Structure 1
Amino acid sequence: MVPLLYFREIIGNYADVIFANSDEARALCNFSLKESPASATRYLSHFVPLVSVTDGARGSYIGVRGESVYIPPSPCVPIDTCGAGDAYASGILYGLLRGVTDMKDMGALAARIAAVVVGQQGTRLRVQDAVQLSESFSFHLQNSTI
């Protein structure tokens, strides 16, 4: 098992993005469960350019340069939470690749993708859902100040 100190060193020297759930983020910071996910996000963003911390149905946080932005959850009726974190990460990465600089916009897309995945059985988006998400985000990009 790799000691936490080495893991932090690897992240600080080689990572550009961290994706973690709230428990993982607190563990990386050596924080107790009493600490908020926002605190862990802020702390980690001092060492890594972009930090994304999900907190289940309570939403998520994106951290940049010691700041934490709260992203509210996208409404859904949960059916299967398997793949929610990966779906959320895909939204963040899609936003990064599209040049989105507004963390709220990027997080809203990520939360929406995760909500679609959580609202269905299985982890794969149906083609029509993927097209609809892409089109809605493209429209948003055209009307944004990016």
Structure 2
Amino acid sequence: MTIAEVAPRLARGEVKSEKLTEECLSQIEALNPKLNAFITVMADEALAMARAADRDIAGGRYRGPLHGIPMSLKDLIDLKGVRTSAGSLVRADHVATEDAVVTARLRQAGAVFVGKTNLHEFAFGTTTEDSGFGLAHNPVDATR
């Protein structure tokens, strides 16, 4: 289901953000050992954000098409209180002290952050072959 399909259903209360987030987290748990797509998974935080989104929407405070939508951020983008390694072991313990502008805007729109995804070290490449956290695999063909 796309955001364009699910957002109106969230707005009408036909779909719950908590359920969508649980489904995303379930897929991450099942597939990440093979794909290595996520460096950081934020299950507890994501579920809390989803519940808050559901409460807001039920209370008539729908913020728009990203409200309650589970999503991830590349591990190059700061999310306050969460590690931002930029795919490098040099920054493996760096915890962001504030949100990046894009993160703040997504948060304001009601997005639900499920985690941070793998990338080429410092984004200096198009693959993850040089990630300190290992190679991420193509979900269509995990051999690549």
- TM-score, normalised relative to structure 2: 0.29
Select the structure that is richer in helix.
1
Larger RCO, structure (CA 8 Å, separation 6 or more): 2
- TM-score, normalised relative to structure 1: 0.29
